[in-house]
Amino acid sequence: MSSDSPPVRRLADWDHDRLARLAEEHGTPLYVLDVDRVAANYRRFAAAFPDAHVMYAAKAHTGRAVLSGLLEAGADIECAAAGELQRAIDAGADPNTLQYTAVNPPGGDLDYAVDLADEHPGLTITGGAEDTFDRLEDRGYDGRVAIRINPGIGTGHHEKVATGKDAKFGIPYDEVPALADDLRDRFDLVGLHAHAGSGVLREDLDDHCRAIAKVAELAREVGDSDLEFVDFGGGFGVPYREETEPLDMQAVGERVREAVGDLSARIKLEPGRYVVADAELILTTVNTVKETPATTVVGVDASLATLIRPAMFDSYHPIRNVSAPDRDPHPVSIGGPCCTSADVFATDRPIARPERTDLLAIGNAGAYGYELANQFHSQPRPAEVAIEDGDERVVRRRETMADVVRVEDEAGE
Protein backbone atom coordinates (compact mmCIF):
# COMPACT_ATOMS: atom_id res chain seq x y z
CA MET A 1 0.00 0.00 0.00
CA SER A 2 1.44 3.36 -1.01
CA SER A 3 2.00 6.37 1.19
CA ASP A 4 -0.77 8.23 -0.68
CA SER A 5 -3.41 5.71 0.40
CA PRO A 6 -6.84 7.09 1.41
CA PRO A 7 -6.92 8.78 4.83
CA VAL A 8 -9.56 6.35 6.09
CA ARG A 9 -10.43 2.77 5.24
CA ARG A 10 -14.12 1.89 5.51
CA LEU A 11 -15.48 -1.63 5.92
CA ALA A 12 -16.74 -1.59 2.33
CA ASP A 13 -13.12 -1.19 1.16
CA TRP A 14 -12.05 -4.62 2.44
CA ASP A 15 -12.07 -7.59 0.06
CA HIS A 16 -15.21 -9.43 1.15
CA ASP A 17 -14.37 -12.64 -0.69
CA ARG A 18 -11.03 -12.76 1.08
CA LEU A 19 -12.66 -12.10 4.45
CA ALA A 20 -15.15 -14.92 3.88
CA ARG A 21 -12.32 -17.29 2.97
CA LEU A 22 -10.29 -16.31 6.05
CA ALA A 23 -13.30 -16.94 8.28
CA GLU A 24 -13.79 -20.34 6.65
CA GLU A 25 -10.13 -21.26 7.10
CA HIS A 26 -9.54 -19.93 10.61
CA GLY A 27 -12.96 -19.78 12.24
CA THR A 28 -14.57 -16.91 14.10
CA PRO A 29 -14.31 -14.67 15.98
CA LEU A 30 -11.18 -13.68 14.08
CA TYR A 31 -9.01 -10.58 14.04
CA VAL A 32 -7.78 -9.63 10.56
CA LEU A 33 -4.86 -7.20 10.44
CA ASP A 34 -3.56 -5.35 7.36
CA VAL A 35 0.10 -4.65 8.14
CA ASP A 36 0.53 -2.66 4.93
CA ARG A 37 -2.24 -0.31 6.02
CA VAL A 38 -0.47 0.20 9.37
CA ALA A 39 2.69 1.30 7.58
CA ALA A 40 0.76 3.54 5.19
CA ASN A 41 -1.01 5.29 8.08
CA TYR A 42 2.32 5.89 9.81
CA ARG A 43 3.90 7.30 6.65
CA ARG A 44 0.95 9.64 6.09
CA PHE A 45 1.22 10.93 9.64
CA ALA A 46 5.01 11.34 9.47
CA ALA A 47 4.72 13.23 6.18
CA ALA A 48 2.48 15.80 7.88
CA PHE A 49 5.21 16.45 10.48
CA PRO A 50 8.47 16.31 8.49
CA ASP A 51 10.54 18.06 11.17
CA ALA A 52 9.18 16.07 14.11
CA HIS A 53 10.36 12.84 15.68
CA VAL A 54 7.35 10.54 15.27
CA MET A 55 7.11 7.57 17.62
CA TYR A 56 4.37 4.92 17.73
CA ALA A 57 2.46 4.63 21.03
CA ALA A 58 2.65 0.88 21.52
CA LYS A 59 -0.26 0.62 23.92
CA ALA A 60 -2.71 0.89 21.00
CA HIS A 61 -1.56 -2.48 19.62
CA THR A 62 1.53 -4.35 20.78
CA GLY A 63 1.28 -7.24 18.35
CA ARG A 64 4.69 -8.20 17.00
CA ALA A 65 3.46 -7.93 13.40
CA VAL A 66 2.47 -4.30 14.04
CA LEU A 67 5.65 -3.35 15.91
CA SER A 68 8.03 -5.00 13.46
CA GLY A 69 6.18 -3.50 10.49
CA LEU A 70 6.42 -0.02 11.98
CA LEU A 71 10.09 -0.44 12.83
CA GLU A 72 10.69 -1.37 9.18
CA ALA A 73 8.77 1.77 8.17
CA GLY A 74 11.14 3.89 10.27
CA ALA A 75 9.11 4.44 13.43
CA ASP A 76 10.50 4.47 16.94
CA ILE A 77 8.41 3.12 19.80
CA GLU A 78 6.97 4.77 22.93
CA CYS A 79 6.02 2.37 25.72
CA ALA A 80 3.85 2.78 28.80
CA ALA A 81 4.86 -0.40 30.65
CA ALA A 82 7.79 -2.75 31.06
CA GLY A 83 5.98 -5.41 29.08
CA GLU A 84 5.71 -3.03 26.14
CA LEU A 85 9.44 -2.31 26.35
CA GLN A 86 10.11 -6.03 26.17
CA ARG A 87 7.72 -6.53 23.28
CA ALA A 88 9.29 -3.66 21.33
CA ILE A 89 12.74 -5.19 21.84
CA ASP A 90 11.45 -8.63 20.82
CA ALA A 91 10.12 -7.02 17.62
CA GLY A 92 13.57 -5.65 16.82
CA ALA A 93 13.68 -2.19 18.42
CA ASP A 94 17.02 -0.81 19.59
CA PRO A 95 16.52 -0.20 23.35
CA ASN A 96 18.47 3.06 23.00
CA THR A 97 15.63 4.47 20.88
CA LEU A 98 12.81 3.56 23.27
CA GLN A 99 10.89 5.94 25.49
CA TYR A 100 9.20 4.63 28.62
CA THR A 101 6.35 6.77 29.92
CA ALA A 102 5.84 5.61 33.48
CA VAL A 103 2.36 6.07 35.03
CA ASN A 104 2.30 4.98 38.67
CA PRO A 105 4.90 2.36 37.69
CA PRO A 106 5.05 -0.87 39.70
CA GLY A 107 8.43 -1.54 41.30
CA GLY A 108 9.14 -4.38 38.91
CA ASP A 109 8.59 -2.08 35.93
CA LEU A 110 11.06 0.48 37.28
CA ASP A 111 13.58 -2.25 38.05
CA TYR A 112 13.29 -3.52 34.50
CA ALA A 113 13.66 -0.03 32.97
CA VAL A 114 16.67 0.87 35.14
CA ASP A 115 18.41 -2.41 34.36
CA LEU A 116 17.70 -1.88 30.67
CA ALA A 117 19.10 1.67 30.80
CA ASP A 118 22.27 0.42 32.48
CA GLU A 119 23.05 -1.50 29.29
CA HIS A 120 21.37 0.92 26.88
CA PRO A 121 21.82 4.51 28.15
CA GLY A 122 19.86 5.99 25.24
CA LEU A 123 16.60 4.83 26.87
CA THR A 124 14.47 7.74 28.12
CA ILE A 125 12.23 7.41 31.19
CA THR A 126 9.34 9.87 31.52
CA GLY A 127 7.95 10.47 34.99
CA GLY A 128 4.57 11.95 35.88
CA ALA A 129 5.10 12.23 39.64
CA GLU A 130 7.94 13.47 41.84
CA ASP A 131 7.70 10.11 43.59
CA THR A 132 8.69 8.37 40.37
CA PHE A 133 11.92 10.35 40.11
CA ASP A 134 12.71 9.68 43.78
CA ARG A 135 12.17 5.97 43.18
CA LEU A 136 14.48 6.08 40.16
CA GLU A 137 17.17 7.79 42.21
CA ASP A 138 16.74 5.20 44.96
CA ARG A 139 17.63 2.60 42.33
CA GLY A 140 20.82 4.44 41.42
CA TYR A 141 19.48 5.80 38.15
CA ASP A 142 20.86 9.12 36.92
CA GLY A 143 20.22 8.82 33.18
CA ARG A 144 17.86 10.36 30.66
CA VAL A 145 14.50 11.59 31.98
CA ALA A 146 11.57 13.66 30.80
CA ILE A 147 8.84 15.33 32.84
CA ARG A 148 5.23 14.54 32.04
CA ILE A 149 3.16 17.71 32.38
CA ASN A 150 -0.53 17.91 33.23
CA PRO A 151 -1.66 20.85 31.06
CA GLY A 152 -5.10 21.03 32.68
CA ILE A 153 -6.80 20.64 29.29
CA GLY A 154 -8.30 17.30 28.30
CA THR A 155 -9.57 16.33 24.86
CA GLY A 156 -10.86 13.23 23.14
CA HIS A 157 -13.81 10.96 22.48
CA HIS A 158 -14.61 10.04 26.11
CA GLU A 159 -13.91 11.40 29.58
CA LYS A 160 -11.96 8.23 30.41
CA VAL A 161 -9.31 9.13 27.81
CA ALA A 162 -9.09 12.91 28.45
CA THR A 163 -5.77 12.48 30.22
CA GLY A 164 -4.71 16.13 29.99
CA LYS A 165 -7.08 17.15 32.80
CA ASP A 166 -6.92 13.96 34.87
CA ALA A 167 -4.82 14.34 38.04
CA LYS A 168 -3.53 10.79 37.54
CA PHE A 169 -1.38 11.95 34.64
CA GLY A 170 1.54 14.30 34.94
CA ILE A 171 3.01 16.99 37.18
CA PRO A 172 0.73 19.98 37.82
CA TYR A 173 1.60 22.68 35.31
CA ASP A 174 2.77 25.34 37.78
CA GLU A 175 5.07 22.92 39.60
CA VAL A 176 7.13 21.96 36.55
CA PRO A 177 9.74 24.80 36.50
CA ALA A 178 10.90 24.12 40.06
CA LEU A 179 10.95 20.38 39.47
CA ALA A 180 12.96 20.85 36.28
CA ASP A 181 15.61 22.80 38.20
CA ASP A 182 15.79 20.04 40.77
CA LEU A 183 15.98 17.20 38.26
CA ARG A 184 18.80 18.82 36.32
CA ASP A 185 20.98 18.26 39.36
CA ARG A 186 20.00 14.62 39.69
CA PHE A 187 19.44 13.29 36.16
CA ASP A 188 19.99 14.10 32.50
CA LEU A 189 16.80 16.07 31.86
CA VAL A 190 16.25 15.77 28.11
CA GLY A 191 12.58 16.57 27.56
CA LEU A 192 9.07 17.49 28.53
CA HIS A 193 6.03 15.39 27.71
CA ALA A 194 2.27 15.94 27.66
CA HIS A 195 -0.75 14.09 26.31
CA ALA A 196 -4.10 15.88 26.23
CA GLY A 197 -6.33 12.97 25.28
CA SER A 198 -7.31 10.40 22.68
CA GLY A 199 -9.61 10.26 19.68
CA VAL A 200 -9.17 13.93 18.75
CA LEU A 201 -11.14 14.91 15.65
CA ARG A 202 -11.98 18.27 14.05
CA GLU A 203 -14.28 19.46 16.84
CA ASP A 204 -11.53 18.79 19.39
CA LEU A 205 -8.64 20.43 17.55
CA ASP A 206 -9.03 23.87 19.11
CA ASP A 207 -8.73 22.50 22.65
CA HIS A 208 -5.96 20.13 21.59
CA CYS A 209 -3.94 22.96 20.10
CA ARG A 210 -4.54 25.10 23.21
CA ALA A 211 -2.98 22.32 25.26
CA ILE A 212 -0.05 22.12 22.85
CA ALA A 213 0.50 25.88 22.98
CA LYS A 214 0.39 25.79 26.78
CA VAL A 215 3.03 23.05 26.94
CA ALA A 216 5.24 24.86 24.42
CA GLU A 217 5.07 28.04 26.48
CA LEU A 218 6.09 26.12 29.58
CA ALA A 219 8.98 24.58 27.64
CA ARG A 220 10.25 28.06 26.82
CA GLU A 221 9.93 29.04 30.48
CA VAL A 222 11.85 25.95 31.59
CA GLY A 223 14.52 26.57 28.95
CA ASP A 224 13.80 24.76 25.70
CA SER A 225 17.31 25.40 24.41
CA ASP A 226 18.57 23.03 27.11
CA LEU A 227 16.08 20.31 26.14
CA GLU A 228 16.44 17.69 23.46
CA PHE A 229 12.70 17.40 22.80
CA VAL A 230 9.20 18.45 23.77
CA ASP A 231 6.78 15.55 23.35
CA PHE A 232 3.19 16.57 22.63
CA GLY A 233 1.88 13.00 22.72
CA GLY A 234 -0.60 11.63 20.21
CA GLY A 235 -4.36 11.45 20.45
CA PHE A 236 -5.27 12.13 16.83
CA GLY A 237 -8.47 10.31 16.04
CA VAL A 238 -10.02 8.32 13.23
CA PRO A 239 -13.65 8.38 12.03
CA TYR A 240 -15.40 5.42 13.62
CA ARG A 241 -18.78 6.55 12.29
CA GLU A 242 -19.36 6.29 8.56
CA GLU A 243 -20.54 9.90 8.26
CA THR A 244 -17.49 11.37 10.05
CA GLU A 245 -14.79 12.83 7.85
CA PRO A 246 -11.14 11.93 8.54
CA LEU A 247 -8.61 14.47 9.68
CA ASP A 248 -6.67 16.30 7.00
CA MET A 249 -3.26 15.55 8.48
CA GLN A 250 -1.45 18.16 6.41
CA ALA A 251 -3.81 20.81 7.80
CA VAL A 252 -3.44 19.34 11.30
CA GLY A 253 0.34 19.56 10.94
CA GLU A 254 0.06 23.26 10.13
CA ARG A 255 -2.24 23.83 13.13
CA VAL A 256 0.16 22.05 15.47
CA ARG A 257 3.20 23.96 14.20
CA GLU A 258 1.30 27.23 14.65
CA ALA A 259 0.37 26.24 18.22
CA VAL A 260 3.95 25.30 19.07
CA GLY A 261 5.52 28.48 17.71
CA ASP A 262 9.26 29.01 17.99
CA LEU A 263 10.90 26.20 19.89
CA SER A 264 14.55 25.24 20.03
CA ALA A 265 13.87 21.70 21.16
CA ARG A 266 12.68 19.14 18.63
CA ILE A 267 8.97 18.31 18.49
CA LYS A 268 8.10 14.73 19.29
CA LEU A 269 4.69 13.11 18.59
CA GLU A 270 3.28 9.69 19.51
CA PRO A 271 0.36 8.56 17.33
CA GLY A 272 -1.19 5.26 18.32
CA ARG A 273 -4.87 4.95 17.39
CA TYR A 274 -4.36 6.88 14.14
CA VAL A 275 -1.82 4.32 12.95
CA VAL A 276 -3.66 1.07 13.67
CA ALA A 277 -7.41 1.63 14.14
CA ASP A 278 -8.66 1.13 10.60
CA ALA A 279 -6.01 -1.49 9.80
CA GLU A 280 -7.86 -4.28 11.63
CA LEU A 281 -11.34 -5.70 11.87
CA ILE A 282 -13.11 -8.55 13.62
CA LEU A 283 -15.03 -11.27 11.77
CA THR A 284 -17.90 -12.83 13.68
CA THR A 285 -20.63 -15.33 12.79
CA VAL A 286 -24.35 -14.90 13.43
CA ASN A 287 -25.68 -17.76 15.54
CA THR A 288 -29.08 -16.44 16.69
CA VAL A 289 -31.80 -14.22 15.22
CA LYS A 290 -34.65 -13.47 17.62
CA GLU A 291 -37.65 -11.25 16.89
CA THR A 292 -39.00 -9.44 19.94
CA PRO A 293 -41.58 -6.67 20.36
CA ALA A 294 -38.76 -4.24 21.12
CA THR A 295 -36.14 -5.15 18.51
CA THR A 296 -34.61 -7.86 16.38
CA VAL A 297 -31.83 -9.44 18.43
CA VAL A 298 -28.86 -10.78 16.47
CA GLY A 299 -26.50 -13.01 18.45
CA VAL A 300 -22.89 -13.44 17.31
CA ASP A 301 -19.90 -15.42 18.53
CA ALA A 302 -17.79 -12.32 19.29
CA SER A 303 -18.36 -10.68 22.64
CA LEU A 304 -17.09 -8.02 24.99
CA ALA A 305 -14.27 -10.46 25.69
CA THR A 306 -13.31 -10.03 22.02
CA LEU A 307 -13.87 -6.26 21.85
CA ILE A 308 -14.61 -4.45 25.10
CA ARG A 309 -14.58 -0.85 23.82
CA PRO A 310 -18.39 -0.59 23.30
CA ALA A 311 -18.98 -1.76 26.88
CA MET A 312 -16.14 0.28 28.39
CA PHE A 313 -16.42 3.53 26.43
CA ASP A 314 -19.86 3.26 24.79
CA SER A 315 -17.84 3.26 21.57
CA TYR A 316 -19.35 3.04 18.11
CA HIS A 317 -17.83 0.49 15.73
CA PRO A 318 -19.09 0.12 12.15
CA ILE A 319 -20.62 -3.26 11.34
CA ARG A 320 -21.18 -4.76 7.88
CA ASN A 321 -22.82 -7.95 6.69
CA VAL A 322 -20.01 -9.52 4.68
CA SER A 323 -22.18 -12.42 3.50
CA ALA A 324 -24.95 -10.25 2.05
CA PRO A 325 -24.04 -6.54 2.02
CA ASP A 326 -26.77 -5.74 -0.53
CA ARG A 327 -29.73 -7.05 1.44
CA ASP A 328 -32.22 -4.44 2.57
CA PRO A 329 -31.10 -2.83 5.83
CA HIS A 330 -33.04 -3.69 8.96
CA PRO A 331 -32.64 -2.20 12.46
CA VAL A 332 -31.11 -4.84 14.70
CA SER A 333 -29.42 -5.11 18.07
CA ILE A 334 -26.22 -7.14 17.91
CA GLY A 335 -24.70 -8.79 20.96
CA GLY A 336 -22.50 -11.64 22.04
CA PRO A 337 -22.78 -14.68 24.33
CA CYS A 338 -21.75 -13.03 27.62
CA CYS A 339 -24.29 -13.02 30.42
CA THR A 340 -24.46 -9.24 30.80
CA SER A 341 -26.49 -6.56 29.04
CA ALA A 342 -23.21 -4.71 28.42
CA ASP A 343 -22.27 -7.31 25.79
CA VAL A 344 -23.77 -5.34 22.90
CA PHE A 345 -22.09 -4.05 19.74
CA ALA A 346 -25.04 -2.12 18.29
CA THR A 347 -28.60 -1.20 19.27
CA ASP A 348 -31.36 -0.74 16.68
CA ARG A 349 -28.77 -0.12 13.98
CA PRO A 350 -29.72 -0.58 10.30
CA ILE A 351 -27.65 -3.49 8.93
CA ALA A 352 -28.19 -5.55 5.77
CA ARG A 353 -30.62 -7.95 7.41
CA PRO A 354 -28.55 -10.69 9.10
CA GLU A 355 -29.49 -14.34 8.98
CA ARG A 356 -28.07 -17.26 10.93
CA THR A 357 -24.55 -18.26 9.69
CA ASP A 358 -23.99 -14.84 8.07
CA LEU A 359 -20.52 -13.38 8.49
CA LEU A 360 -20.35 -9.88 9.98
CA ALA A 361 -17.34 -7.56 10.15
CA ILE A 362 -16.76 -5.15 13.03
CA GLY A 363 -14.51 -2.33 11.88
CA ASN A 364 -11.85 -0.08 13.38
CA ALA A 365 -10.75 -2.79 15.80
CA GLY A 366 -7.01 -2.19 15.48
CA ALA A 367 -6.66 0.27 18.36
CA TYR A 368 -7.27 -1.18 21.84
CA GLY A 369 -9.06 -4.16 20.33
CA TYR A 370 -6.93 -7.24 20.89
CA GLU A 371 -5.03 -5.23 23.53
CA LEU A 372 -8.10 -5.31 25.77
CA ALA A 373 -9.31 -8.79 24.80
CA ASN A 374 -9.90 -11.03 27.79
CA GLN A 375 -11.13 -14.45 28.90
CA PHE A 376 -14.45 -13.48 30.50
CA HIS A 377 -16.75 -16.51 30.71
CA SER A 378 -13.60 -18.59 30.16
CA GLN A 379 -13.67 -17.73 26.48
CA PRO A 380 -10.38 -18.41 24.69
CA ARG A 381 -9.07 -15.34 22.90
CA PRO A 382 -9.42 -15.36 19.10
CA ALA A 383 -6.79 -15.90 16.46
CA GLU A 384 -5.26 -13.00 14.55
CA VAL A 385 -4.35 -13.23 10.87
CA ALA A 386 -2.05 -10.65 9.27
CA ILE A 387 -2.08 -9.63 5.61
CA GLU A 388 1.20 -8.22 4.32
CA ASP A 389 2.48 -7.84 0.76
CA GLY A 390 -0.40 -9.99 -0.42
CA ASP A 391 0.46 -12.90 1.87
CA GLU A 392 -1.48 -14.11 4.89
CA ARG A 393 -0.16 -15.64 8.08
CA VAL A 394 -1.45 -16.43 11.55
CA VAL A 395 0.34 -14.10 13.95
CA ARG A 396 -1.61 -15.19 17.04
CA ARG A 397 -3.14 -18.63 17.20
CA ARG A 398 -6.58 -19.14 18.67
CA GLU A 399 -6.40 -19.94 22.37
CA THR A 400 -7.74 -23.25 23.62
CA MET A 401 -9.41 -24.11 26.89
CA ALA A 402 -6.03 -25.52 27.93
CA ASP A 403 -4.62 -22.01 27.53
CA VAL A 404 -7.40 -20.56 29.67
CA VAL A 405 -6.65 -22.88 32.61
CA ARG A 406 -2.90 -23.28 32.10
CA VAL A 407 -1.81 -20.93 34.87
CA GLU A 408 -4.05 -22.77 37.35
CA ASP A 409 -2.83 -26.17 36.19
CA GLU A 410 0.81 -25.07 36.38
CA ALA A 411 0.22 -23.60 39.85
CA GLY A 412 -0.93 -27.01 41.04
CA GLU A 413 2.01 -28.94 39.66
Q: pLDDT tens digits for 76-124?
A: 999 999 999 999 999 999 999 999 998 999 999 999 999 999 999 999 9
What CATH number is associated with residue 78? Answer: 3.20.20.10
296 and 377 within one domain = yes
189 and 309 within one domain = no
The 3-state DSSP composition of the chain as helix, strand, coil percent (nearest 5) reads 40, 25, 35
Report pLDDT for 166.
59
Give the domain-ending residue among 275, 293, 317.
275
Question: Is 368 annotated in some ligand binding site?
Answer: yes
Could you tell me which residues are beta bridge partners of residue 100? 79, 125
159 and 78 within one domain = yes
Report pLDDT for 156.
43
Task: Yes or no: say if 183 and 147 are a contact pair by the CB < 8 Å rule.
Answer: yes
Task: Yes or no: say if 128 and 102 are a contact pair by the CB < 8 Å rule.
Answer: yes
Could you tell me which residues are beta bridge partners of residue 330? 351
344 and 264 within one domain = no
- Which parts of the chain register pLDDT below 70? 1-4, 153-166
Domain membership of residue 357 (yes or no) is yes
Distance CA 367, CA 370 (A): 8
Report pLDDT for 2.
40
Range of 228's domain?
35-275
Give the domain-ending residue among 251, 275, 299.
275
Report pLDDT for 160.
39
Report pLDDT for 161.
40
140 and 61 within one domain = yes
Share of the chain above pLDDT 90, in %: 89
Report pLDDT for 151.
87
Domain count, the chain: 2
Residue ranges in 139-245 assigned as alpha helix (H):
176-184, 205-222
Question: Is 64 annotated in some ligand binding site?
Answer: no
Strand runs labelled E in 272-328: 280-291, 296-300, 319-321
- Torsional sign, CA 239, 245, 248, 253: negative
157: Cα separation from own chain's centroid: 13
Domain membership of residue 9 (yes or no) is no
For 19-74, give the DSSP string: HHHHHHHH-SSEEEEEHHHHHHHHHHHHHH-TTSEEEEEGGG---HHHHHHHHHHT
Query: What residues act catalytically?
Result: 339
183 and 45 within one domain = yes
Question: Is 270 annotated in some ligand binding site?
Answer: yes
Report pLDDT for 162.
42
DSSP 340: S
Nearest to 302 by CA among 335, 328, 327, 324: 335
116 and 60 within one domain = yes
